[in-house]
Amino acid sequence: MATVTTSAVRGANFVEVTRRALDILLAAVSLIALLPLMSLIALAIVLESGRPVFFSHTRLGLGGRPFRMYKFRKFHKDCSSNGLQLTLDGDARMTKIGRLLRATKLDELPQLWNVLIGDMSVIGPRPESTGYADCFKDGFEDVLKFKPGILGPTQVKFRDEAAYFPAVGDVDEFYRKVLFPIKARMDLDYYSGRSFLGDLGWLVQGILVTIGVHKPAAPHTAGKPHDTEPSRTRV
C-alpha cells in the first residue's frame, strides 16, 4: 500500500512539474512573440490617456491565496481599482482604446506575466475577485484546489459573459446565484480529471474563440442573452 501511495505521489508531482514547465515555456515564448503588439498597445494607451499602462486587481489564486492579476488599463487613469466591479457597455470610465481591448480580449495579455511568475497557469479556472470569495462554499471551494488560468472551459463558453446578465434586476446577485455556480460546476467537471490532451484542446479553442474564428455553443443558464439593454460585465 505504501509503495502504491508513493508511486501515486511521484506521478502527481511529475505531472505538476511538467505542467509548470510547459506554462513557463508557453508564457515566455508568447511574451517574446507578442512583445511588438504589446508595445503598440502600451503606446496607444499612453498617447490616449497617459500612464499607467497596466491595471492590477486582487484575485483569488491557488488555495484561495490572493494575488495581483495584471491587465492593460481599459479605464481612465483616475478610476479607482477598488471601485465598482460591474461596468456597462459604453461606460464613461472606459477609454476608446479600452473598448477595443475589451472587445478583443487583448487587455488580458499581461497575464502571461502572472503565468511566468507562477500565480496563474495557461489553462485553469478563471480567477475570481476577492469580492466573490464568499461564493466558494458547499463544495465550490474545491475550485480553489486548481491554479487559476488565462484559458479554460468557462473562459471559452462564457467568452461573451455580459450577454447572460439580465437586462433589469440585481446583476451581482444574478452572478452569485446563477452564473457562478454554473461556471464552478464546469470547472470541477473538467479539472478533477484533466489531461494534457484536454488542456491542449481548450488552449486551441480559447485562441480560436478569442480571435473570432470559433463560436462555442452557448451554455445553459437561467438568464437569456439580451440585446435591448446595455450589457454589463465584470472588470
Burial of 166 (0-12, 13-18, 19+ CB in 10 A): middle
- With a CB cutoff of 8 Å and minimum separation 6, the contacts of 53 are 42, 45, 46, 72, 73
Express each pLDDT in 59-74 by its tens digit. Answer: 999 999 999 999 999 8
- Stated pTM of the model: 0.85
Lowest mean pLDDT among 179-183, 200-204, 228-232: 228-232
Position of cell 473538467?
190
Spatial contact of 54 and 72, defined as CB atoms under 8 Å apart: yes
**How high is the pLDDT of residue 211?**
81
